């Protein structure tokens, strides 16, 4: 079939088959390597998830391959912590993290010299590519990825007394509207293969698990023996999935009692196994409090693009009908439909008070909705919505979409810019998002909600949605929490903040030139400043002009210690899990000022003060140092994501230390983001937009 032995070459410009693929010289049709098996083995705990994803391929007889490429999806909040390639029975290649440009140079040089090599890159937050060079003929290839991630909550059911944890394994890269990233070279992906997919999930909990279920796939489940640590164990399995099942993301829901210890607020300290004084703290918090009802403006933004045809648009119509029946009298509302263009239900874009007459009008409008508006111009629809909203009222925007677009960052920037305007007035807006369908772009849906201070929910085909819709609207019609902050405190009740600036012998480091090893911050540059007082003036006047010159060396800046992710708390919503991190660098005070508690403070819109104190417990030490750095890597991943999204400590550092404002020097700001993001990814060996996994035989 393949003729005499030849070297295949990768060509990026084609609609991809599944898995690894290559071209023979002068060929037009791409040749996929036969996919033998895909196995996903996941472990879920109350704090995080660990996934080992293995794909097996076979290089055909008489056809050695010069370069093959493989692309795959992962959950956007995951961190790829390891990558191993098994080439035949005797060759195992363990990859390491390197700066992206350097990794590419090493890979190309190795392939050109005839050596086996592998390179893995992040194309976007949820899509990754892998290249394998010089694969011998008639050889089985196994690609094994280690992935850690946060476990997202799907919310609480007030009637059943249950809290649901939701684990998602993306199975597809659905074709999206717009131009795909150049590194990807194509616009779709689905796991597939001769032997389908095998998924094994192990759920560990200190308390009874009330149930496991999958709204997307038929699973078998069982009870395992109690672990040595006293944890209860349940398992869920999916084997020999059919092709139709491979075209939708795998979702597993874990039901816990709302009053269980796993659902209560907790804070876990992880001490680094090899760096004395280095620690990371992970905090999980599900607020439970009653907030008074308010009557904001509510605008629904409804996707009617062609990709919504079928089950998605039916779900959207049904969800909209529930939303409309559940609105409160006196609330102003409107609907913005979009595809290639957008239109408002109330044509002038002005929201109307919710009355029986306007509800009937809206129900008639929604009942006639179809997926007939072409492409997915989400940005334009959101921009028009934000321009039309009532600036004299708080506004709640609820987006319903399958999320199939490439230009996500433009959408996030638009939402963040609108949120920033609230600093100039007393009226705010929040954005909530519902992802519809089995191949929904979770990064887009969650990214919009995160940027907009709301939360995201997902509804797959044939999945019950009424409870999710009512819960979201109930939250949207509740008052907002203000002035939210979180801090670490030591055993004496003192805030642990910027330790490096309080001690001459601090080993805390700054990041200087990208090619220079991080070094100690010069004492002369140190200032007394507060993480929670961004208006504090810098005591050091420095000429910003060298840092604003395109090719000039960047002046050093000093990060806060500990680093926080998120840097500023913008969202705390009742019933929704929030996860926070502290990443604490070593100082002489690290041993005497270990974190003992995390303190959250906030206030309601009518001035009521709120506080929660969470004691810090330490993780038990494992024999596996990879496990002992899980929280460090998750914290680093969150920090990197914040940098990519433009919300980070760098804004304040440039303003306070170098008198550089982000709005006045956006290119300089981006250079600092690239510099700091690359440094964090390298230090914690995290795959990112600035780093790659590389291995050469």
pLDDT at 273 over 50: yes
Cβ contacts of 364 within 8 Å, gap of 6 or more: none
| Mean pLDDT for the stretch of residues 440-448 | 86
CA distance 26 to 417: 49
Can you tell me the distance from the alpha carbon of 247 to that of 249, in angstroms, rounded to the nearest whole number?
7
**Structure confidence at residue 406 as a pLDDT band (50, 70, 90):** low
Residue 591 banded pLDDT, cuts 50, 70, 90: low
Residue 550 has pLDDT above 90, yes or no: no
Query: CA dihedral in degrees (208, 198, 146, 22; nearest 10)?
Result: -160
In a domain, 268, yes or no: no
- How deeply is 440 buried, as exposed, middle or buried, from its count of CB atoms within 10 A (0-12, 13-18, 19+)? buried
Q: What is the pLDDT of residues 333-381, one digit of tens each?
A: 999 999 999 999 999 999 999 999 999 999 999 999 999 998 888 999 9
> How sure is the predictor about 630, in pLDDT bands with cuts at 50, 70 and 90?
very high
525 and 671 share a domain?
Answer: yes
pTM assigned to the model = 0.83
| Mean pLDDT over each residue of the chain, to the nearest integer | 81
Q: Would you place residue 556 in the very low, low, confident or very high pLDDT band (cuts 50, 70, 90)?
A: very high
Last residue of a domain, one of 478, 506, 529: 478
The end-to-end CA distance of the chain, in Å, is 30
- Greatest mean pLDDT range, 118-122, 212-216, 537-541, 660-664: 118-122
Q: 176-190, 473-487, 667-681: which range is least confident on average?
A: 176-190
pLDDT at 19: 55
Which CATH number characterizes residue 212's domain? 2.60.40.1730
Residue range 415-428, pLDDT digits in tens = 988 888 865 666 78
Residue 522: which pLDDT band, with cuts at 50, 70 and 90?
Answer: very low
Decide if 108 is inside a domain.
yes
- With a pLDDT cut of 70, the percent of the chain lying above it is 79
Q: Distance (Å, rounded) from C-alpha 382 to C-alpha 369?
A: 19
Question: pLDDT at position 537, please?
Answer: 41
pLDDT tens profile 43-81: 998 778 999 999 888 888 888 888 888 778 888 778 999
CA distance readout (Å), 431 to 40, 400, 406, 414, 421: 34, 11, 20, 12, 14
Q: Is the pLDDT of residue 176 over 80?
A: no
CA distance linking residue 552 with residue 666, whole number of Å: 15
pLDDT of residue 272: 93
Closest by alpha carbon to 97, among 114, 122, 71?
A: 122
Q: Which of 121-135, 227-241, 616-630, 666-680 has the highest mean pLDDT?
A: 666-680
Interatomic CA distance for residues 556 and 660, integer angstroms:
13
Q: Are residues 549 and 668 in the same domain?
A: yes
pLDDT tens column, 25-37: 666 666 777 677 8
Q: Considering the domain boundaries, does residue 168 fall inside one?
A: yes
Query: What pLDDT sits at residue 374?
Result: 83
Report the range of poorest mean pLDDT among 47-51, 183-187, 210-214, 217-221.
183-187
| Within-domain flag for 470 | yes
| Alpha carbon 72 to chain centroid, angstroms | 16
- pLDDT value for 613: 95
Task: Single out the residue in 207, 241, 257 at which a domain terminates.
Answer: 257
Residue 283 lies in a domain: no
The arithmetic mean of pLDDT across residues 248-267, rounded, is: 82
Q: Is 425 exposed, middle or buried (0-12, 13-18, 19+ CB in 10 A)?
A: exposed
Which of 257, 284, 308 delimits the end of a domain?
257
Return the pLDDT at 426. 67
> Does 395 lie in the same domain as 411?
yes
Least confident range of 298-307, 538-547, 603-612: 538-547
What is the pLDDT at residue 15? Answer: 37
Q: Is residue 196 part of a domain?
A: yes
Same domain, 317 and 438: yes
**Statement to judge: residues 336 and 446 lie in one domain:** yes
Would you state the pLDDT for residue 648? 85
**Tell me, what's the pLDDT at 508?**
37
Confidence of residue 506 (pLDDT cuts 50, 70, 90): very low
Q: Do 540 and 448 share a structural domain?
A: no
Torsion of CA 567, 573, 575, 581, to 10 degrees: 0
pLDDT of residue 675: 94
- Cβ distance 279 to 631 under 8 Å? no
Which CATH number does the domain housing residue 441 bear? 3.40.50.410
Query: Where does the pLDDT of residue 8 fall: very low under 50, low under 70, confident under 90, or very high at 90 and above?
Result: very low
Same domain, 466 and 489: no
Number of domains observed in the structure of the chain:
3
- Cis omega (within 30 of 0) for bond into 562: yes
Output the CA torsion sign for 674, 680, 683, 689: negative
Distance in angstroms (rounded) separating the CA atoms of residues 617 and 379: 44
Question: Of 167-171, 226-230, 452-456, 673-677, which gets the smallest average pLDDT?
Answer: 226-230
What's the pLDDT band for 183 if we cut at 50, 70, 90? Answer: low
Residue 473: φ, ψ to 5°: -65, -40
pLDDT of residue 175: 44
CB 94 within 8 A of CB 116: no
**127 and 160 housed in the same domain:** yes
Map residue 601 onto helix, strand or coil: strand
* Residues 211, 214: Cα–Cα separation, whole Å: 10
The answer to whether residues 415 and 503 belong to one domain is no
The residues, any chain, with a CB within 8 Å of residue 545's CB and separated by 6 or more, are none
Q: What value does the mean pLDDT take over residues 185-213? A: 71
Q: Are 102 and 693 in contact (CB under 8 A)?
A: no
Same domain, 505 and 469: no
**21-22 and 232-238 beta bridge pairing:** unpaired
Contact 665, 120 (CB under 8 A): no
pLDDT of 596 higher than 90 = yes
pLDDT at 245: 58
**Chain position carrying tokens 């060396």:** 553
Residue 9 predicted with pLDDT over 70? no
* Residue 624 maps to a domain: yes
Whether the predicted pLDDT of 513 surpasses 80 = no
What is the extent of the structural domain holding 50?
21-257
* pLDDT tops 60 at residue 542: no
Identify the residue with better confidence: 228 or 500.
228
| pLDDT for the residue numbered 23 | 62
pLDDT value, residue 32: 72
Residue 95 has pLDDT above 80, yes or no: yes
**Per-residue confidence at 327, pLDDT binned at 50, 70, 90?**
very high
CB-based contact 253:212 (threshold 8 Å): yes
Lowest mean pLDDT among 101-105, 139-143, 183-187, 603-607: 183-187
- Are residues 240 and 191 part of one domain? yes
Instruction: Find all residues with CB under 8 Å of 273, minimum gap 6, and list them.
Output: 621, 625, 628, 629
Q: What does the pLDDT read at residue 63?
A: 81
How far is residue 1's CA from residue 62's CA, in Å, rounded to a whole number? 10
- Does residue 76 sit in the same domain as residue 142? yes
Contact 598, 494 (CB under 8 A): no
Looking at the predicted structure, is the pLDDT value of residue 173 above 80?
Answer: no
- What's the token pair of residue 496? 């642990």
> Tell me, what's the pLDDT at 551?
63
The pLDDT score that the predictor gives to residue 456 is 92
pLDDT-based confidence at 502, cuts 50/70/90? very low
pLDDT higher at 176 or 257:
257
Q: Is residue 271 part of a domain?
A: no
- The whole-number pLDDT of residue 647 equals 74
Is the confidence at residue 504, as pLDDT, over 70? no
Note the pLDDT of residue 548. 46
What is the average pLDDT across 550-576?
87
Confidence check: pLDDT of 140 > 50: yes
Residue 459: pLDDT band with limits 50, 70, 90:
confident
What pLDDT score does 222 carry?
A: 85
Helices 650-658 and 666-683: crossing angle in degrees, nearest 10, is: 120
Average confidence (pLDDT) over 162-176: 72
- Which residues neighbour 283 within 8 Å (Cβ) at sequence distance 6 or greater? 265, 266, 267, 268, 486, 579, 580, 581, 582, 598, 614
């Amino acid at each position: 079939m393949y003729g005499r032995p030849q070297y295949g070459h990768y060509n990026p410009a084609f609609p991809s088959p599944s898995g690894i693929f290559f071209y023979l010289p002068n060929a037009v049709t791409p040749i996929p390597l036969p996919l033998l098996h895909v196995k996903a083995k996941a472990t879920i705990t109350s704090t995080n998830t660990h996934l080992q994803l293995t794909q097996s391929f076979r290089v055909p007889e008489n056809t050695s391959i010069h370069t093959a490429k493989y692309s795959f999806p992962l959950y956007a909040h995951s961190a790829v912590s390891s990558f191993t390639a098994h080439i035949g029975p005797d060759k195992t290649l363990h990859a390491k993290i390197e700066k992206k440009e350097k990794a590419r140079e090493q890979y190309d040089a190795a392939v050109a010299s005839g050596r086996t090599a592998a390179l893995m890159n992040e194309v976007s937050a949820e899509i990754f590519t892998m290249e394998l060079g010089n694969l011998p003929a008639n050889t089985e290839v196994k690609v094994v990825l280690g992935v850690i991630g946060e476990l997202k909550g799907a919310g609480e059911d007030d009637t059943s007394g249950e809290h649901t944890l939701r684990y998602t394994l993306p199975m597809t890269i659905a074709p999206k509207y717009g131009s795909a990233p150049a590194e990807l070279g194509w616009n779709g992906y689905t796991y597939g293969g001769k032997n389908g997919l095998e998924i094994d999930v192990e759920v560990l909990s200190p308390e009874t698990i009330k149930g496991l279920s999958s709204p997307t796939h038929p699973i078998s489940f069982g009870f395992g023996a109690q672990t040595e640590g006293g944890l209860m164990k349940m398992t869920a399995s999916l084997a020999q999935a059919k092709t139709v099942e491979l075209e939708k993301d795998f979702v597993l829901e874990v039901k816990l009692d709302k009053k269980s210890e796993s659902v209560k607020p907790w804070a876990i300290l992880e001490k680094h196994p090899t760096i004395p004084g280095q620690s990371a703290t992970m905090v999980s918090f599900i607020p439970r409090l009653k907030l008074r009802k308010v009557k904001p403006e509510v605008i629904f933004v409804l996707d009617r693009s062609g990709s919504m045809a079928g089950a998605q648009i039916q779900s959207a119509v049904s969800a909209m009908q529930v939303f409309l029946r559940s609105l409160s009298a006196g609330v102003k509302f409107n609907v913005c439909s979009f595809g290639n263009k957008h239109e408002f239900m109330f044509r002038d874009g002005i929201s109307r008070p919710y009355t029986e007459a306007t509800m009937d009008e809206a129900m008639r409008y929604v009942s006639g909705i179809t997926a007939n508006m072409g492409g997915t111009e989400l940005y334009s629809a959101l921009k028009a919505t934000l321009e039309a909203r009532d600036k004299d009222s708080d506004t709640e925007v609820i987006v319903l979409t399958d999320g199939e677009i490439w230009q996500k960052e433009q959408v996030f920037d638009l939402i963040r810019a609108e949120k920033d305007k609230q600093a100039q007035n007393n009226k705010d807006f929040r954005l909530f998002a519902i992802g519809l369908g089995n191949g929904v772009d979770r990064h887009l849906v969650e990214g919009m909600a995160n940027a907009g201070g709301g939360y995201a929910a997902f509804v797959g085909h044939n999945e019950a949605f009424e409870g999710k819709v009512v819960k979201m609207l109930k939250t949207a019609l509740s008052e907002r929490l203000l002035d939210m902050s979180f801090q670490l405190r030591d055993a004496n009740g003192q805030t642990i903040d910027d330790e490096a600036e309080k001690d001459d012998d601090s080993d805390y480091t700054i990041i200087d030139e990208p090619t220079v090893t991080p070094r100690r911050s010069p004492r002369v540059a140190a200032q007394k400043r507060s993480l929670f007082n961004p208006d504090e003036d810098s005591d050091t006047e420095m000429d910003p002009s060298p840092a604003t010159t395109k090719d000039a060396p960047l002046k050093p800046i000093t990060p806060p210690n500990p680093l926080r992710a998120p840097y500023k708390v913008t969202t705390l919503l009742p019933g929704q899990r929030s996860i926070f991190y502290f990443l604490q660098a070593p100082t002489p005070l690290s041993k005497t000022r270990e974190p003992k508690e995390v303190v959250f403070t906030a206030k309601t819109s009518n001035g009521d003060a709120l506080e929660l104190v969470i004691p810090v417990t330490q993780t038990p030490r494992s024999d596996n140092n990879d496990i002992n750095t899980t929280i460090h890597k998750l914290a680093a991943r969150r920090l990197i994501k914040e940098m990519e999204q433009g919300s980070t400590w760098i804004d304040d550092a440039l303003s306070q230390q170098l008198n550089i404002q982000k709005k006045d020097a956006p290119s300089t700001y981006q250079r600092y983001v690239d510099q700091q993001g690359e440094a964090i990814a390298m230090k914690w060996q995290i795959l990112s937009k600035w780093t790659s996994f590389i291995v050469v035989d």
